A = this chain, B = another copy of it.
Amino acid sequence: MDQSDVTWNHLQILRDKAPLIHNITNYVVMNNTANALLALGASPVMAHAKEEVADMVSIASALVINIGTLSPGWVEAMETAMHAAGKKGIPVVLDPVGAGATPYRTETVKALMQKNPPDIIRGNASEIGALYSAENRTRGVDSTQDSQAALDPARFLAREYEAVVVVSGSTDYIVTDHNVSTVQNGSELMGKVTGMGCTATAVVAAFAAVIENQEKAALTAMSVMGIAGEIAALKSSGPGTLQLHFLDVLYNLDEKDLKQKLKSENNHA
């Protein structure tokens, strides 16, 4: 199978299995994330009480941890959930939103990773860079660095945590300790919609839930995100209409459109 067959095959598996994805994520994007997972064919659940996160993990197929609006009570629940997911053996996908913007974020996400190493980390170049070195303070959740520049930090994190690291940008990089794949799909307009990165993280988790090879799952996920965004942008007159077209496209994405648009490269292959 060539890459486009693999990607289409992955999407069919996801739609067929409809995995339950447990999200502990930020307030800003909960609604978008849930809708994107539904449109994709997965089943979202949001739960953050430390009283129930382990039980929720026990019925879920992947766990998303997103620190976009973190606070101590939530961090405690994240830790509990990550631990339970690790014991159960389901993939944990971490989104270090705004890492580097404040010491609290940077330190919290580092501590979470050290206690329970995630399977996949997805962030923009600033965030991935901040996890590598806390020296570079960023402007919050925006990416102010090129994603290329985050390749060294990504490789470091990939080795350190035995994780797949996804660096989002105009080119997306999927990085392991020995390989770098790229996705060239997407649209600049996606950066004008809040939470598109967080949605990408949830989409990565949905594929990771059903595709055993986490690197391939991440590559497919970023391709599907980018292609859906690209097609949606063509139909949109701004970031408002993009949001809804994105969900419609994700829901309707067919083999022809997906294969025609795909611009990913697996350097390993």
Contacts and interface: CB of A to CB of B under 8 A. Distances in A.
A237 B38 CA distance: 15
Contacts of A234: none
Interface residues of A, number: 63
Contacts of A236: 248
Contact of A240 (B60, B98, B246): B246
A33 B237 CA distance: 19
Interface string A49-72: 101100110011000000011111
Give how many copies assemble into the complex: 3
Given A72-B51, A251-B239, A194 B101 contact: no
A239 B248 contact: yes
Contact of A142 (B43, B104, B192, B245): B43
A105 interface: yes
A70 B49 contact: yes
A38 B192 contact: yes
Contacts of A241: 244-245, 248
Given A239-B247, A252-B237, A102 B56 contact: yes
Given A44-B194, A45-B98, A140-B59, A28 B30 contact: yes
Contact of A45 (B32, B35, B101, B191): B101
A85 B91 CA distance: 40
Contact of A71 (B43, B49, B248): B49
B101 A239 contact: no
B102 A194 contact: no
Nearest to A54: B102
5 closest cross-chain pairs (CB), A and B: A238-B248, A240-B247, A240-B244, A45-B140, A34-B194
Given A27-B30, A240-B245, 19 more contacts: A27-B27, A27-B46, A28-B46, A31-B195, A35-B193, A39-B239, A43-B140, A46-B68, A49-B71, A49-B72, A55-B104, A56-B101, A60-B140, A238-B250, A239-B248, A239-B251, A240-B243, A240-B244, A241-B248
